[in-house]
Amino acid sequence: MAARPGLAIVLSEASHARLHAALTLACAAAALGRPVRLFFHGESVAALTPERHWQGDAVYRAAGLASVAELVDNAVDLGVRVMACQTGLQLVGLAAVALAEGIETGGMVAFLADAREDELVMG
């Protein structure tokens, strides 16, 4: 059986619904054994701080769903490579040391160079 291609997801905004959907996709693909990498671009890097709570999380939790922060942790635990955009960190005023554990920093060029054989999805 041929190896499944990797999945590379670029997140470009800090919308709760978009973040939740992209993280759920990443976790599901990784759980099925597919290599996955996420790139948080621009304001979406705010999702990578451990203490971040999103307004939409309460509604999702009431329905039995994970929060955005829990999904980030789950993704890292499943082996998803998570990268925060360095310029995005500057944009929202975050230092790399404020990111959740297991998050790397880099730029779009480095992300795309690593993901050159992966299927690319914008989230």
List, in order of start, the domains of the chain with CATH numbers.
7-122 (3.40.1260.10)
- DSSP 3-state of 39: strand
Q: In what order do the strands lie in the sheet with 103-106?
A: 103-106, 81-85, 36-40, 7-11, 119-122
Model confidence over 13-47: pLDDT tens digits?
Answer: 889 999 999 999 999 999 999 999 999 999 999 99
pTM: 0.92
Torsion angles phi and psi, residue 13, rounded to 5: -145, 165
Per-chain mean pLDDT for the chain? 92
Model confidence over 63-85: pLDDT tens digits?
Answer: 999 999 999 999 999 999 999 99
